[in-house]
A = this chain, B = another copy of it.
Amino acid sequence: MLARIGRRAEDYLETIHELSKEKGYTKIKDISAKLNVKPASVSEMVSKLSKQGYVVYGKRLFVGLTPKGREVAESVKERREILVKFLTTLGVPREIAEEDACTIEHVLNPETVKQLKNFVKFVEDSPAINPKWLKHFREFCQKGIHPCEHASVRC
């Protein structure tokens, strides 16, 4: 009866993680602001997460993560970062990339995530700072014509 963590719960954990970086804890109100959700709703979700052992909550208006919660938060964060890198590499504007990453990070199959990761790493590991094919891709996005069509050196 392993009450699985929901999608939205992952967002909360990640947000708490981020907001807790400095002090080690955060507050309902800040989570509420970050997630654009009313404090009452945050209160509900947080007390649920605390019952499930993901957040330390208790007495004094402080919300922090348990190790269990931190683990989830960090893995979600990693996934999101991959997605953002990936989408920005593809030319999606940063802001939109971040939004979309946030939306889809919860629902991707690990296999898909693995391939996205591979792709990001492939681009990063290239000895060229800006590989030829990627330059070609950007050009293609602008002009709609594949540069290789009339080129001597293909990508």
Contacts and interface: CB of A to CB of B under 8 A. Distances in A.
A136 B125 CA distance: 12
Contact of A87 (B107, B115, B154, B155): B115
Contacts of A132: 133, 154-155
A36 interface: no
A118 interface: yes
Q: Is chain A's binding surface mostly helix, strand, loop or mixed?
A: helix
A67 B17 CA distance: 47
A93 to B, nearest CB: 7
Interface of A: 87, 90-93, 96-97, 99-100, 103-104, 107-109, 111-112, 115-116, 118-119, 121-122, 125-128, 131-133, 136-137, 140-141, 146, 148-149, 154-155
17 contacts: A90-B116, A90-B118, A91-B115, A92-B109, A92-B111, A92-B112, A92-B115, A93-B111, A100-B107, A100-B109, A118-B141, A121-B140, A122-B136, A125-B146, A126-B154, A128-B154, A155-B155
